[in-house]
Amino acid sequence: MKILHRSSTCIPQALLCALLLAAPGITSGEIVREGDRSPTPSLISERNQPITLVGERQTLITFIFTRCAAMEFCPRMAKQFEDVQEAIQEKGYTGLRLLSISLDPEFDRPELLKEYAKAVGADPATWNFATADTATIDSLTRDFRVHRNKDGGILNHTLCTALISPDGTIKRIWRGNAWTTEEVLEAVGIE
């Protein structure tokens, strides 16, 4: 099965934000900030099992979709998560879970997310993928201020990565794609 399709692209993040914020009818949910409690949606993992944002470990989340072909968006987030996974595994650190949440729940079903996880080198002991019904994803993206807009067959979106502590507190939020593995390790408390 082909995972990336040419028909799906992302437009530059700043332009998309400006367009979405200026559009009539755009509403915001309870936008979360650092120090707030994380939302607790019901998600389904790539293994077709229930999964949550809050767990026994710290959780680093980001938003992606499997058909995204814009190299500075989902493929870059996958590479950055792969780098974090590699860094924590090299250090023998098991207190961080990575979770990539699909922005395209109609297409990204668990079996496809499982295939995508293998394609990007995700170790399921460290890095999981999740989807949910459209209403849940809509609410979650509003909460984390991830703007997404389907224009025909193209899903345009912004980027957000967040670190959530085991007690559900949002420790750190990164907008865009400029965060580094070192910043994540520092926020997690790994030297």
Which residues 6+ apart lie within 8 Å of 13 measured at CB? 73, 158, 159, 176, 177
Distance CA(60)–CA(49), nearest Å, equals 19
Q: How many Cβ atoms are within 10 Å of 79's Cβ, its own excluded?
A: 14
Tell me which DSSP letter residue 170 carries: E
Is the torsion defined by CA of 180, 89, 37, 31 positive or negative?
A: positive
| Known binding residues for Cu cation | 68, 74, 157
CB 87 within 8 A of CB 105: no
| Known binding residues | 68, 74, 157
Closest CA to 107 of 147, 72, 150: 150
CA distances (Å), origin 20, targets 25, 32, 107, 143, 158: 10, 18, 23, 15, 10
C-alpha distance across the termini of the chain, in Å: 40
